[in-house]
């Protein structure tokens, strides 16, 4: 049966953010006209009263996608572990609890690949989630997301509540944050190389030694996968959302340099942490349970991301003149 999105009243927390904006766009394409995107200025989801007001402001919601989060790269996680823990545990726990109280039939929690143990066998299978401690630099954030999975399973066991938990791998694409203080690896690489190219510098310096591997999923693909889970998945077990393609940071840097047109040297600062040694997920559960398979090749997605960022820079230059 085809899921009827036209009949849904949907809340998307974090709907103005990177992943959230793409999810909102996808849902509208599917025919969802009744969408509510709470803004942080109006609804601080760390506060119980704000969560209660959220559901009162949009009565009759049929599902909530919880994407709101305080996020960042390795540097931000190392600098603000307490803030990352506090903000995310409260937002997740309260948003789910008040959805249950308000009688919203379905809750889609969006977790993170960072929840996996540091030395998880590759590819990461969902059943490996509890076999160790996460990589230290982002452990507080990763453990919070594990607890939100536990909460969803506990609510299913006690209340029969239909809460599901998804774990996207590293996202990239148009609309990402290119702020070097809190951006992830791909936008940081693109920005550093374009700036070096513009300023005529002969090298860029990157963290670590380039040996770690990562899996990246194009943000538009991830949005589709999350929506498909919202429509068709009703299980207790977590599900990876990824591309199944693994690439080293060194190879990523070389590919980015090629697409940007940066011909300088890449230098590695080995005094800085590498992060988790390898990341690559098993994507068979998502395909089996709700038919999701990423469509965008990594090279095509990276090319589109570079083009989008250059367009933003051009617009900013025009605004100055």
List, in sequence order, every beta strand (DSSP E) within the chain: 9-13, 34-36, 63-66, 106-110, 162-168, 170-172, 203-207, 213-218, 239-241, 246-248, 265-269
What per-residue confidence (pLDDT) applies to 184?
83
CA distance 197 to 261: 8
**Domain housing 196:** 7-320
Residue 319's contacts (CB-CB under 8 Å, 6 or more residues apart) are none
Rounded to 5 degrees, what angle do the CA atoms 53, 57, 58 make? 125
Average pLDDT per 10 consecutive residues for the chain, totaling 321 residues: 92 97 98 96 98 98 97 82 96 98 98 93 96 93 97 98 97 93 87 96 94 95 98 98 95 96 95 87 97 97 97 92 77
Is 2 within the bounds of a domain?
A: no
Q: Is residue 140 part of a domain?
A: yes
Give the whole-angstrom CA distance, residue 66 versus residue 59: 17
Within-domain flag for 39: yes
Contact 189, 252 (CB under 8 A): yes
- SS3 of residue 171 by DSSP: strand
User: Where residue 308 sits, what CATH number does that domain have?
Assistant: 3.40.50.720
What's the angle, vertex CA 111, arms to CA 214 and CA 211, rounded to 5? Answer: 15
Closest by CA position to 58, among listed 11, 108, 5: 11
1 assigned to some structural domain: no
β-sheet bridge partners, residue 241: 168
Provide the pLDDT for residue 276: 79
Helix (H, G, I), strand (E, B) or coil at 15: coil
Burial of 97 (0-12, 13-18, 19+ CB in 10 A): middle
User: What is the secondary structure of 49-73 as a DSSP string?
Assistant: HHHHHHHHHSTT--EEEE-------
For residues 194 and 296, what is the distance between their CA atoms, to the nearest angstrom? 24
Q: Are 142 and 167 in contact (CB under 8 A)?
A: no
Residue 124 domain-assigned (yes or no): yes
- For residue 1, the model assigns a pLDDT of 60
Tell me the CA end-to-end span of the chain in Å, nearest whole number: 54
For residue 99, tell me if it sits in a domain.
yes
Distance from C-alpha of 177 to C-alpha of 172, rounded to nearest angstrom: 9
Sheet with 246-248: list strands edge to edge. 170-172, 213-218, 246-248
In a domain, 276, yes or no: yes
Domain count, the chain: 1
Please choose, from the candidates 18, 16, 58, the residue with its C-alpha nearest in 3D space to the C-alpha of residue 40.
16
Report cis status (omega within 30 of 0) of the bond before 123.
yes
* pTM of this structure: 0.93
Is 227 a domain residue? yes
**CA 146 – CA 279 distance, rounded (Å):** 17
What number of residues does the chain have? 321
Please list the active-site residues.
141
Predicted pLDDT of residue 78: 87
């Amino acid at each position: 049966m085809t899921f009827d999105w036209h009949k849904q009243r949907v809340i998307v927390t974090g709907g103005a953010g990177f992943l959230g904006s793409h999810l909102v766009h996808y849902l509208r394409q599917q025919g969802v006209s009744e969408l509510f995107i709470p803004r942080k200025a109006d609804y601080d989801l760390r506060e119980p009263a704000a969560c209660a007001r959220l559901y009162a402001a949009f009565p009759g919601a049929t599902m909530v996608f919880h994407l709101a989060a305080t996020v960042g790269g390795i540097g931000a996680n190392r600098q603000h572990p307490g803030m990352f823990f506090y903000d995310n545990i409260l937002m997740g726990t309260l948003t789910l609890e008040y959805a249950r109280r308000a009688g919203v039939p379905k809750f889609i929690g969006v977790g993170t690949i960072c929840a996996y143990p540091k030395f998880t066998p590759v590819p990461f299978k969902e059943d490996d989630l509890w076999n160790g401690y996460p990589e230290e630099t982002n452990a507080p954030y990763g453990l919070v997301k594990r607890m939100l999975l536990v909460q969803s399973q506990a609510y299913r066991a006690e209340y029969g509540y239909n809460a599901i938990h998804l774990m996207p791998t590293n996202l990239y694409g148009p609309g990402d944050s290119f702020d070097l203080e809190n951006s992830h690896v791909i936008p940081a690489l693109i920005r550093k190389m374009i700036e070096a190219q513009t300023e005529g510098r002969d090298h860029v310096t990157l963290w670590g030694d380039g040996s770690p591997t990562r899996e990246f999923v194009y943000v538009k693909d991830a949005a589709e996968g999350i929506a498909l889970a919202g429509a068709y998945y009703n299980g207790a077990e977590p599900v990876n959302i990824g591309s199944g393609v693994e690439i080293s940071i060194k190879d990523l840097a070389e590919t980015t340099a090629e697409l940007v047109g940066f011909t300088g040297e890449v230098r590695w600062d080995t005094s800085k942490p590498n992060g988790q040694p390898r990341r690559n997920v098993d994507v068979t559960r998502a395909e089996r349970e709700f038919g999701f398979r990423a469509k965008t090749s990594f090279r095509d997605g990276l090319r589109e991301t570079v083009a989008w960022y250059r367009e933003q820079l051009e617009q900013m230059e025009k605004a100055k003149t």
